[in-house]
Amino acid sequence: MAFLGRPETNWTAWEGRPPVRKMKGNPMNPQILIVGDVMLDRYTWGRAERVSPEAPVLVLDVEREDARLGGAGAVAALLAGLGAQPVLAGVVGDDPAGRAVARLVAELGLPAEDGLPSPSSRTNDGLGRPSSLLSASDRPTTVKERLIGAAAGKHGQAMLRVDRESRQPLPREVEDQLRAAALETLRYVRAVLISDYGKGVCTPRLLSAVIRAARRVRVPVLVDPRRGGDYALYRWATVIKPNRREASEATGREIRCVAEAFAAGKDLCARWGFHAAVITLDADGMVLVTADGEEKHICGRQREICDVTGAGDTVLAVLGRSLAEDRPLAAACELANAAAALQVEHVGVSPLSWREIRASVGNALCGVPHEPSELSEGNDRQFAIRNLQFAISLYRAAGRKIVFTNGCFDLLHPGHLHCLSAAKALGDVLIVAVNSDASVRRLKGPSRPIVGQRDRAAMLAALDCVDHVVIFDDDTPERLIADLRPDVLVKGAEARPNGVPGADLVQSYGGEVALVPLLADLSTTAIVKRRQGQASSRIDSRLNDLAACIS
């Protein structure tokens, strides 16, 4: 498997080794804290088919208007759509736009008692403002208003954006209240997301307090940084998620290719103590770089781009939701990349379902052979198993049927190809488990295997009918079958005194067991014996010739 990383990359390793962390709440419906700049996105939609006689500008004939949460609010809305319980920590103005934000947040289903404590200075507007939002009378609510015009039956295009905002830092009193509320929330959330748009909410003091407190309780912190900002503000966060331009500005490096993105990611981790950097590269996908040396490029998806608004918010939300669910970081990046590709097909930030995202990843992965994975004992085995289990969950989300077979596959021959092709025909995804060298020696004797485990696995992975190859150390695959729970177990139909290993387990949960007829006289053992017999005959013949010459 070439696409998933180690689960330990979910968490920071600031003190030299991954911490032991007791996660809070339900990982399938996690509470996630979002700290940052809450905005109101307003959209005015209409037809733009004529030019004004007053000036060389288009006229927009308004057809409808709507309002959505933006910034940190958009991240919260996306998380709610993904089945998480967002807790939004932000500040709005005491104005109509702030009250509109409050209504939209309330529609996410956040009861006041589950949110942040209400500050004493909060304006009581009688609307049941969620207690995760603070009100400041000396600053306006950030509003971005977009005019979207359509013409000639085509999709609407952005014509103009009008911003109303303040970039002044929060007053100390409001900052203290937001800080206290956020720190209190850390007791029960599974992740913290920082959405910093540079509007004054994410002050150095607030960020330092939240990140340090999250470190102490082993809660991962993911940061979507402001453009042109000082990344020292986010020092020791778990994951930093800049885009290409932001990463280039922060590191002083040009990022024109994946290799340069890897170098920038290493620089970010080394300079500011991040455990990982995820750099989004627009059409080129994204790269993941971790402080312990992992590098991964997730290729971009070919999509019809309608609007890039919200792609970054989507990546942050999906990464946070995935890590809160204890997914490996590399797997989280696969999901986030797929989600961003789906998001840009819509105008504005639109909700996405978890099933829709997983199915998109599953469709992309199906039928693509992956590098072999070795299952050694200990933590490495657990990491590899979790990666395979995650891949299987994506395939199943896409409606794929999982087929499993196993063997030594020493001296790959037509009999093997016959069995593998037959196995793939019984489903959609074929996982092949290969006995390790040590396992083969125990089963076949000290003279075997003839071909080493990595070479055997590499040859299998190169076959079109094989999707995943895994090397295992046990004498039978029963433990692996119990971990992966395939839909179909396939073996050759040779006589087996003890039955097919794992068959009872597969049938116990409703799976199928299939036996493939073997081709006559085609086995590695038979081939080896024939070769040995031929060699022995040649030796006897040469000895006879030598004896004849002597006599």
Is residue 5 within 8 Å of 329, Cβ to Cβ?
yes
Residues annotated catalytic, as ranges: 313
A 10 A CB-CB count for 264 gives 24
A 10 A CB-CB count for 16 gives 5
What one-character DSSP code corresponds to residue 114?
A: G
Q: How far apart are CA 367 and CA 429, in angstroms?
A: 7
Contacts of 370 (CB under 8 A, 6+ apart): 1, 2, 3, 391, 461, 467, 468, 469
Q: Largest Cα–Cα distance in the chain?
A: 120
Sheet holding 429-435, edge to edge: 373-375, 468-472, 429-435, 402-407, 488-492, 512-516
Q: Is the peptide bond before 220 cis (omega within 30 degrees of 0)?
A: no
DSSP 59-82: EEEEEEEEEEEEEHHHHHHHHHHT
Strands of 28-138, DSSP E? 31-36, 38-51, 58-71, 85-93, 133-136
The amino acid occupying position 292 is: D
Instruction: Please report, to the nearest 10 degrees, the dihedral formed by the alpha carbons of residues 387, 7, 272, 242 taken in order.
Output: 40
Is residue 377 within 8 Å of 479, Cβ to Cβ?
no
Number of alpha carbons in the 13 Å side-chain half-sphere of residue 506: 24
What one-character DSSP code corresponds to residue 411?
A: S
* Residue showing tokens 């499993």: 404
Q: How far apart are CA 272 and CA 235, in angstroms?
A: 5
Task: Name the phi and psi angles at 402, rounded to 5.
Answer: -95, 125
What one-character DSSP code corresponds to residue 400?
A: P
Q: Vertex 93, ends 88 and 96: CA angle to 5°?
A: 105
Q: How far apart are CA 478 and CA 318, in angstroms?
A: 34
Is residue 150 within 8 Å of 159, Cβ to Cβ?
no
Work out the burial of residue 276: count CB atoms within 10 Å of its CB; fewer than 13 is exposed, 13-18 middle, 19 or more buried.
Answer: buried
**Cα 171 vs. chain centroid, distance in angstroms?**
37
Q: How far apart are CA 77 and CA 86, in angstroms?
A: 8
Instruction: Please report, to the nearest 10 degrees, the dihedral formed by the alpha carbons of residues 437, 441, 446, 448 taken in order.
Output: -60
Structure tokens at 463: 């076959």
